Structure 1
Amino acid sequence: MTTPFPKTPEFTGSLYRPARFEGKVYDLEVEGTVPREISGTFFQVAPDPQYPPMLGGDIFFNGDGAIHAFRFNAGSVDFQRRYVMTERLKRQRQEREGLFGIYRNSFTDDARAKGVNSSTANTNVILHNGKLLALKEDSPPYALDPITLETEGLYDFGGQLTSPTFTAHPKFDPQTGAMMCFGYEAKGEASPDIVYYEIDKNGRKTREVWVRAPYAAMIHDFAVTENYVIFPLMPLTADIDRIKAGGNHFEWQPQLEQLFGVLPRDGEGKDLRWFTAPNGFQGHTLNAFDDGKGKIYVDMPVTDGNIFYFFPQADGFVPPPETLSSRMMRWTFDMKAPGNGLTVAPLSDFTCEFPKSDDRYSGQPYRHGFVISMDMQRPYNFEKLGPPPFQFFNMLSHIDVSTQKARHWWADDQTCFQEPVFVPKSPDAPEGVGYVMALANRLLDQTTDLVILDAERMDEGPVATVHLPVRLRMSLHGSWVPSQSAPSDQSFPENA
């Protein structure tokens, strides 16, 4: 590689400088004690570009997907990291340079990239029907072997997908193991069409419903309850003429309301109902449930403006981040009430994102939520670190959604956290009884640790800190796979 990465915030510093490595480390160093009941694998994926951007600059979300696997067994932790060998990455390795232009805009790509699937497979990673699926919402998943992390290729569930896109945030029925999922821009770039699927635990599609939104917009996450599916449309819209002219795939629309499409799980496209709320930026879904009588509750962080500075509004304006307010909110939809309004109430008084709940209560009434959060009143080493980077969250927090009380753990003046995951102490442990683990980036030391906290006493700090001998770039999403759910044992073979 003869071209250096640009010296921009997206490619420099401890959090965003590309790591670009693959490998494995047996028996990571542990400070404290890893509870022996933790048995399984914590999978995570990071956008980590192999090559500098072709156009000289790029956004974080356009990096190549690199899978992290932390494998827990009898108090020990092994680590493995491997790139998803996408068609895009293979072509760039072949040419030894970046070939793709603006994020999700094939009209800006090099001619040598023509016809190549452009998915980076970098947003989420889940296990379903024995396959590890690396997800990016502009493409079908990539399937990988969950033990070796070897890429098997693009995966359309045996020809069952009828759309070119697939969500990075599927939901799972904790009773049946079925996957609820969707695709937006489902009839091509900038199309307003949405398709909803249900796929059983054996990989068989059991449901497909098509709906049409008022306009094409980003639907990054969604919500599923026992009886309903909720599609939140962000005021980030796609326009095919802008894309063809070489512009951004998404553009912030400050005049648009937030739009929520609510579909009965047993309904058809004609049964979709739209609700609206004032302009804002929806985050990721913590959880959702309904009361069986027509009231639906969706919990997600919401910001009162555009936090994606790389997708500005038409005149280029992006609000300064310090002017934005973000809280965990509860949206209430009343399917028996007339009109398109809804009610919203805060569940937190602090900025938070990347929420996780106890997966065993997905789509059901629940109590416990786990998030990364921000409190800039806490000490921060401005002198040596400069301004906080994008996606800087300096606390791990627990939210009791029934009491709205919270507990926080702040590490020190240089540490920020990545998305947490919840691990039950046992399959039949009560909700919220278990452990929270998350990657901790030590910005000044330029190191990365995996911290493990008791979920019931998060404010007391880690029961164990797992030290990595390498620095990991900021990741996006991941999942916990207990040993009994994996297709084989959780240790990786010598030839992996």
Structure 2
Amino acid sequence: MAKAFPTDEPYLSGYFAPLHAECDAPNLPVTGEVPATLRGTYYRNGPNPQFAPRGRYHWFSGDGMLHAFQFDSGRVSYRNRWVRTPKWEMEHANGEGMSGSLSSRHLTEPRLLELNSTVANTNVVWHGGRLLALEEVHAPFEVDPVSLAPRGYQTFGDKLSGPMTAHPKIDPVNGEMVFFGYAARGPFTPDLMLHVVDKAGQLQRSVHIVAPFPSMVHDFVVTQTHVIFPIFPLTGSMERASSGRPPYAWEPGKGTHIGILPRNGTAADVRWFTGDPCYVFHPMNAYDAPDGGIVCDMMKYDVPPLFPGPDGQKISSGAPAARLVRWTFDVAGKSGSYREQPLGDTPGEFPRLDERFATLPYRHGYYCGGDISASGKGDALRSGLVHIDVASGQEAQYQPPAGDKCGEPIFVPRHADAGEGDGWLLATIWRAAENRSDLAVFNAKALSAGPVALIHLSHRVPAGFHGNWRPAG
């Protein structure tokens, strides 16, 4: 018998509470007008535990659930499904949870540990004719783009033997998908593996790199000429994990190390730059500067949220906030440091851009403004959306009513030849008072004017992570 979910876990209540149902809705009600030219599917992924976990719960550990909104001629249909991973299937057959969360791995049943299953709960990406549900310590898990039925692990013709990051970068110029895996030679190892998949979905190249120390390397950035690996002092330790202490913990004394590799280079070509301790879950973009340098725009925390020190104690008295900064690297010079400057005033997370300008010079960025990890029951905190012009620093914002929370904004071009930033922003909004969600459509050039359309669900889309757009046709 399935056990009740605990009531004292902040990331299992309110906005973060799991959704226990799957459904199909062929015609969602709409307020306003959905642009008729908006044709395609918006996919969104996030943790949604099927069963109550054993021990304390960590937000990053729930089973992945996909939400698919299909747009066609002003109408929107919806489907949600758990990603039926091997873990999900085993627990489903068992009828109750068998696993501990990120910090309670020792409570997981041995046969589930032996399965070494993905939870596929972080991102969902369309590339090379495949829809891939991703996390960061396993191979990608393919699902059918319409039914969301499982197709199993995707290893690119058995050429991928290790994990794949949840944040691959797709080059808009040549269609390549560039990605990496950390702890690539086993849990808590300092090994990174860089992989390049061509636009047809065939793995072409892999490079093995050894980082200065084992670290949680959630994301990275790519330019037209280089790959940038940020190694932050959120360290991994098998010794800690084996003794019941935090597997990942903040050790600021190790500092920040940034490895820069030419796109066509080998491990011997990596150059390391060093900086003050900080953490970045998500960069916005990176590109090659006209002077030969590299520019990286990063959503930077002074200390990471959601993780403790090595002794398990909190590392901050409040919720750490991230702010958008620009790092500039002189790859032709001799300095081993880099320059930092602030870009925006509003704290936030989940930075995105017009993906046609990924790896390239760009101007328009979007992100969630506010504390997206705030989990208090019934609080009045809200998280809105921010549009920033990174050239001028000018910001525009949309703020929902108190208590409501916006998810990650996804940009969709108005048409294939539209200029940068000319299009729509899609974002889910949790309506706290009604405990349900809307999908909002904004004119990306007039964010502060509010949504041009609200697509209404009768249930809640739980607090999640990332999504992407797949055009029709």
TM-score band by shorter chain is over 0.9
> 1:45 is paired with a residue of what secondary structure?
strand
In the alignment, structure 1 residue 130 sits paired with structure 2 residue 123: no
Matched residue type, 1:96: G
Distance of 1:412 and 1:79 partners within structure 2? 25
Match of 1:395 in 2: 384
Match of 1:493 in 2: none
* 1:386 corresponds to which of 364, 367, 379: 379
Match of 2:19 in 1: 19
Offset from partner CA, 1:193-224 (integer Å, 9 cap, x none): 10101100112122211110111101101000
In the alignment, structure 1 residue 304 sits paired with structure 2 residue 302: yes
Report how many residues are paired.
471
Q: For the Cα contact (< 8 Å) 2:14–2:378, is it kept in 1?
A: no
Matched residue type, 1:455: A
1:132-211 equivalent positions in 2, closer than 5 A: 132-162=131-161, 164-211=162-209
Match of 2:365 in 1: 369
Alignment TM-score, normalising by the size of structure 1: 0.91
Distance of 1:320 and 1:122 partners within structure 2? 29
Match of 1:47 in 2: 47
Matched residue type, 2:171: D
Q: For the Cα contact (< 8 Å) 2:352–2:366, is it kept in 1?
A: yes
Distance of 1:179 and 1:31 partners within structure 2? 37
1:294 CA drift (Å): 3.1
Distance of 2:238 and 2:13 partners within structure 1? 35
Matched residue type, 2:124: V
1:46 CA drift (Å): 1.5
Deviates more, 1:17-26 or 1:2-11: 2-11
Distance of 1:104 and 1:375 partners within structure 2? 23
Q: For the Cα contact (< 8 Å) 2:53–2:101, is it kept in 1?
A: no
1:134 CA drift (Å): 0.3
Q: For the Cα contact (< 8 Å) 1:327–1:350, is it kept in 2?
A: yes
1:237–1:274 CA distance, 2 compared to 1 (3 A): same
Matched residue type, 2:47: P
1:355-366 equivalent positions in 2, closer than 5 A: 355-366=351-362
1:394-413 equivalent positions in 2, closer than 5 A: 394-413=383-402
Q: For the Cα contact (< 8 Å) 2:287–2:361, is it kept in 1?
A: yes
> 1:286 is paired with a residue of what secondary structure?
strand
Q: Unaligned regions of 5+ residues in structure 1, if any?
A: 485-496
Match of 1:281 in 2: 279
RMSD (Å), alpha carbons: 1.9
Distance of 1:105 and 1:8 partners within structure 2? 16
Q: For the Cα contact (< 8 Å) 1:227–1:292, is it kept in 2?
A: no
Match of 1:421 in 2: 410
Distance of 1:263 and 1:385 partners within structure 2? 47
Match of 1:321 in 2: 318
Distance of 2:128 and 2:310 partners within structure 1? 41
Match of 1:340 in 2: 336
Matched residue type, 2:341: A
Distance of 1:305 and 1:114 partners within structure 2? 31
Distance of 1:43 and 1:58 partners within structure 2? 25
In the alignment, structure 1 residue 466 sits paired with structure 2 residue 455: yes
Offset from partner CA, 1:116-164 (integer Å, 9 cap, x none): 12310000001122111000101001011101111011111110113x2
Match of 1:490 in 2: none
Matched residue type, 1:37: T
Matched residue type, 1:451: A
1:102 CA drift (Å): 3.6
> 1:194 is paired with a residue of what secondary structure?
strand
* 1:248 corresponds to which of 241, 246, 271: 246
Q: Unaligned regions of 5+ residues in structure 2, if any?
A: none
Deviates more, 1:10-19 or 1:358-367: 10-19
> 2:282 is paired with a residue of what secondary structure?
coil
Distance of 2:456 and 2:47 partners within structure 1? 21
Offset from partner CA, 1:71-119 (integer Å, 9 cap, x none): 0000011000011110111111111121122418755421231421231
Matched residue type, 1:463: V
Distance of 1:338 and 1:105 partners within structure 2? 45
Distance of 2:321 and 2:459 partners within structure 1? 34
1:8-157 equivalent positions in 2, closer than 5 A: 8-55=8-55, 57-103=56-102, 107-157=106-156
Q: For the Cα contact (< 8 Å) 1:46–1:473, is it kept in 2?
A: yes
Matched residue type, 2:7: K
Matched residue type, 1:346: P
Distance of 1:143 and 1:402 partners within structure 2? 38
Matched residue type, 1:123: T
Distance of 1:273 and 1:221 partners within structure 2? 18
Deviates more, 1:22-31 or 1:287-296: 287-296
Matched residue type, 2:16: Y
